[in-house]
Structure 1
């Protein structure tokens, strides 16, 4: 059993708690925002700041780890991570790999670390970056403690894995925002929300029992599947804005690379329908997100 091979509070335990596979979801929005900023800066003869770019990546990564720790701890406290019924990957507190008290300290440390990493961004984006950072931290806690239980998790993904990171990353570089950036941010949020949708689709029965009324629980399995498929398709169609803005490859490349993979994963979700086997679809969706991010970024940068 995996529980017997992980020593409590060991490096392996903390690595599992940090969930490194989820970091692609944090990196992709920043990647897309930077690609758009670099392209527009080059086209306008403006400077692109690599230090600010690195800080954006660092803040996003630490915040993602912080969110994972918060999710691990509060789902354990609420009893959502029932070790007998859980279908998804095992969680550190529920398995006893990390003591709840240690996790509380880790949450405090990663929250502080994210704030320290993000604070220098005020020199690039202005004092309003303090408000942006504060909102990110507050909603990081609200997601697990309340909002995900009332079906608002998908909205938060659209905002904090789409609109905020893509637009703010671009704004920090060029101090403006364009319709192409806005469309790209919505597309990015839709693609990343597919990860939450397949996760909630897998857990729909246990979530219902636990009183966690996700969008899939509220709308039903069929609608959950349709949302998954349509989110990826809509994201690709929104790429037409980039084509009109002078980046046709940013529209074409996701259609040729990401969309076929997304449809194949959707068909696998339909075929499997229930159980732990859906974890494979979770892994495929994470891969698809990375493919999407690379395809859009490359499409923007290739002239």
Structure 2
């Protein structure tokens, strides 16, 4: 592709040079998937035991670094396998459009994991060394998601893996390092968070469905087809909000958590944005709305727990 065409694509995607190149490499719209479970897990712990701010900050930064490293592994290995080109949307584009060397991207990803490991040592020393086992498994999954001989991202298990490891497990660890305990209630309450994180992954696969199929991937979006995948995304939203209402009704979440329903508007925008669209570029607003749904739900859920801490409310 000519440099003129490349510039036209960058303009249509509103991509800028300079610092923005490295910022896009992190795929910032996905980083809320790292923030939300740490915030929710910590606030759940605050209700029961209190919060150690140093551990919260370390866990938050480590989680964000692992998510960013996972994004960079995805950027690197998709390029190596020939899946990304100048026309690809939804990627950082630092390799195929900005000329950053693939080795640089890989080195940066590994550096992020090293820093996350150092933060993990602090977390373990301040809580329990059992956290190290789960942390190492999570980092390994972050690599295997896009790397290795059988990348998880190329299978129908991508959404489930992302939801469990970036949702439920991170919520559980965030709670555990504050309280040195874990309950089934915390695990169950984390399910909607896991669903919304999996939805981000699903929305990405819906957008990339045609190109992924041509390159041999077998994601859920490919197996279901465009319309079926959008319906599955809608059912995922319904399940997540339905479970939230059930948890409130049975007392697992405070009544303040009803404010999470304010995020439904973004979920509706997500579904409407995907419906009837064919071009990946046309589906970008829908994917953005999916990420915003996760962000708003997680922030509102965490805030509802803070409200309950400050102004206890029971039936």
Q: Scaled by the length of structure 2, what TM-score is found?
A: 0.87
Q: Is 2:61 the partner of 1:58? A: yes
**Are the aligned partners of 2:128 and 2:180 in contact in 1 as well (CA < 8 Å)?**
no
Q: Which residue of 2 aligns with 1:44?
A: none
- Partner SS, residue 85 of structure 2: coil
Q: Which residue of 2 aligns with 1:120?
A: 122
Q: Is 2:230 the partner of 1:225? A: yes
Q: Is 2:32 the partner of 1:24? A: yes
Aligned-pair CA distance for 1:249: 2.8
Aligned-pair CA distance for 1:90: 4.7
Q: Which residue of 1 aligns with 2:3?
A: none
**Are the aligned partners of 1:243 and 1:251 in contact in 2 as well (CA < 8 Å)?**
no
- What CA distance in whole angstroms lies between the structure 2 residues aligned with 1:168 and 1:266? 32
Q: Is 2:153 the partner of 1:148? A: yes
Ranges in structure 1 where 5+ consecutive residues have no aligned partner: 42-46
| Cα deviation 1:68-97 (Å, max 9, x = unaligned) | 11111111101111223x243452112243
- What CA distance in whole angstroms lies between the structure 1 residues aligned with 2:299 and 2:248? 15
**Are the aligned partners of 1:36 and 1:170 in contact in 2 as well (CA < 8 Å)?**
yes
- What CA distance in whole angstroms lies between the structure 1 residues aligned with 2:73 and 2:93? 11
Q: Which has the higher helix share?
A: 1
- The farther-off stretch of 21-30 and 175-184 is 175-184
- The farther-off stretch of 196-205 and 268-277 is 268-277
- Partner SS, residue 95 of structure 1: coil
Tell me the number of residue pairs that the alignment of Structure 1 and Structure 2 aligns.
294
- Partner SS, residue 282 of structure 2: helix
Q: Which residue of 1 aligns with 2:4?
A: none
Q: Scaled by the length of structure 1, what TM-score is found?
A: 0.90
**Are the aligned partners of 1:32 and 1:296 in contact in 2 as well (CA < 8 Å)?**
yes
After superposing on structure 2, the runs of 4+ consecutive aligned residues of structure 1 that deviate more than 3 Å are 2-7
Aligned-pair CA distance for 1:167: 0.8
- Partner SS, residue 281 of structure 1: helix
**Are the aligned partners of 1:250 and 1:300 in contact in 2 as well (CA < 8 Å)?**
yes
- Partner SS, residue 211 of structure 1: coil
Ranges in structure 2 where 5+ consecutive residues have no aligned partner: 1-6
- What CA distance in whole angstroms lies between the structure 2 residues aligned with 1:6 and 1:292? 30
